């Protein structure tokens, strides 16, 4: 069994909710997280994009910057980066052995085990320390309070991105419950920031947890096109490469975080901020993967994510014939998401990602009112999408697992 197979063998869930397993594992490893500085992010949507923007700015400012995100799309190594470079296979092998040895020494309740995300988080802490990172941008995996990443002490800044319904089986079935769990990353003596435009119910809970939580001021002169966007924030114009108005909101959150870091004494120039934002890119978020026809990938898989797709389509692609390729996993709000997509696409191809949680294509097709084409094998669906006329647009969406398969397929064509 190689390192990646060994990591995956740990499984998604490991026992009673809590940080006791993670604390025990990190303690045996010498608590590497206590020797690092962090920017910690939680939320439902926008975490990955916001984290990528912040990391890009800090790198341009001259700081050795770690970035921890999930899930990966094509290669596991994507989850752990330093200055934009993925962790090597050699380092994964070496650190997997180290974490595995530590895992054998810990004492945890009978019937519990170290889960995959706990294992990977500990491995990432070791790597970032080995690499002597000045700062680590750390994205939670699921929730906040009992997320493995929350074993860290007070971060430089805690960031709460847009919150909506997702993972309700784990996080709770009300926005208040979900928000309270996500807000668990806010430590008593650290600065906290939340996205502009949070729902009133969300903001109410966040302000109960942290009365002085900062909400970014509005942006002005917003422009969006298929090359990115521009806007004015605090009387300064900024540009981003990421597509969609929701990415302006993510940039707004990233900027507020950067300004808080500057106030704390981090040396970040105006030029570093502008360049960092403009060069920040993330795969699978309204990403252009093919030119003729134009094919976009978007990993939106909950109501807010799918609404962001719809908003971008109405703003930037309203004059184009739109074809959708859709595949989803079963633990999402399938009915709500498909009702939006059903109205959005002029034609719809149904497929399924190669994942145990995927909804079978025939079953997913039943959620759509219009006639759909069904291709259970995702590669067959992608080949069909390539056959649309060059004037039309294709969006592949519904699941990050499907986006990962699309990345592999289209990158193999180049």
Checking if the pLDDT of 408 tops 60, the result is yes
User: What's residue 165's pLDDT?
Assistant: 72
Where does residue 167 fall: left (phi above 0), alpha (psi -120 to 50 degrees), or beta otherwise? left
Kindly indicate the confidence band of residue 166, based on its pLDDT and cuts at 50, 70 and 90: low
How many other β-carbons are positioned within 10 Å of the β-carbon of residue 275? 17
Structure-derived torsion over alpha carbons of residues 72, 77, 79, 84, reported in degrees to the nearest 10: -120
CB 97 within 8 A of CB 2: no
pLDDT for the residue numbered 329: 92
Span of 172-181, 198-207, 265-274, 405-414 with lowest mean pLDDT? 172-181
With CA atoms as reference, report the closest residue to 302 among 162, 198, 184.
Answer: 162
**In the predicted structure, residue 64 carries a pLDDT above the cut 60:** yes
Cβ neighbours, 10 Å, residue 223: 12
220 bridge partner residues: 232
Query: Are 103 and 126 in contact, with CB atoms under 8 Å apart?
Result: no
pLDDT at 167 over 60: no
What is the arithmetic mean of pLDDT over 143-159? 95
Percent of the chain with pLDDT over 70: 98
Three-point CA angle 46, 327, 75, nearest 5°: 60
Q: What is the pTM of this model?
A: 0.93
pLDDT band at 244 (very low <50, low <70, confident <90, very high): very high
Q: What is the per-residue pLDDT for 169?
A: 54
Closest CA to 32 of 117, 132, 107: 132
Residue 2, pLDDT above cutoff 90: yes
Mean pLDDT of 62-70: 97
Domains of the chain: 3-279 (3.40.1190.10), 287-411 (3.90.190.20)
The pLDDT of residue 164: 84
What are the pLDDT digits (tens) for 322-371? 999 999 998 888 999 999 999 999 999 999 999 999 999 999 999 999 89
First to last CA, the chain: 31
Contact 347, 356 (CB under 8 A): no
* Average pLDDT score, the chain: 94
């Amino acid at each position: 069994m190689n390192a990646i197979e060994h990591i995956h063998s740990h499984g998604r869930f490991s026992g009673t909710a809590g940080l006791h397993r993670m604390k025990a594992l990190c303690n045996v490893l010498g608590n590497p997280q206590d020797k690092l500085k962090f920017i910690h992010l939680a939320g439902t949507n926008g975490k990955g994009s916001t984290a990528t923007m912040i990391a890009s700015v800090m790198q341009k400012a001259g700081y050795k910057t770690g970035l921890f995100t999930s899930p990966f799309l094509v290669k596991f190594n994507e989850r752990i980066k330093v200055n934009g470079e993925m962790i090597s296979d050699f380092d994964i092998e070496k650190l997997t052995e180290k974490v595995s040895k530590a895992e054998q020494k810990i004492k945890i309740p009978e019937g519990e085990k170290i889960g995959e995300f706990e294992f990977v988080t500990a491995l990432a802490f070791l790597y970032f320390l080995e690499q002597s990172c000045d700062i680590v941008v750390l994205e939670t995996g699921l929730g906040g309070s009992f997320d493995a990443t929350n074993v860290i002490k007070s971060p430089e800044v805690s960031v709460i991105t847009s919150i909506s319904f997702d993972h309700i089986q784990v996080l709770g079935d009300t926005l208040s419950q979900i928000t309270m769990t996500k807000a668990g990353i806010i430590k008593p003596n650290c600065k906290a920031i939340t996205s502009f435009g949070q729902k009133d119910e969300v903001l109410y809970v966040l302000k109960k947890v942290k009365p002085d939580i900062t909400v970014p001021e509005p942006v002005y002169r917003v422009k969006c096109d298929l090359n990115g966007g521009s806007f004015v924030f605090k009387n300064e114009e900024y540009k981003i490469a990421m597509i969609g108005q929701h990415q302006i909101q993510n940039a707004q959150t990233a900027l507020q975080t950067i300004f808080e870091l500057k106030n704390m004494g981090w040396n970040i120039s105006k030029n570093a901020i502008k360049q960092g934002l403009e060069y920040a890119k993330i795969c699978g978020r309204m990403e252009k993967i093919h030119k003729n026809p134009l094919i976009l990938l978007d990993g939106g898989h909950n109501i807010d994510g799918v609404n962001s797709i719809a908003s971008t389509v109405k703003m930037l692609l309203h004059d184009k014939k739109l074809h959708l390729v859709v595949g989803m996993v079963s633990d999402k709000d399938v009915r709500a998401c498909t009702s939006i997509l059903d109205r959005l696409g002029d034609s719809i191809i149904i497929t399924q990602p190669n994942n145990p949680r995927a909804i079978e294509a025939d079953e997913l097709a039943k959620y759509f009112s219009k006639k759909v084409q069904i291709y259970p094998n995702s590669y067959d669906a992608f080949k069909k999408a390539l056959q649309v006329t060059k004037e039309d647009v294709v969006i592949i969406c519904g699941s990050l697992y499907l986006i990962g398969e699309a990345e592999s397929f289209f990158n193999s064509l180049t």
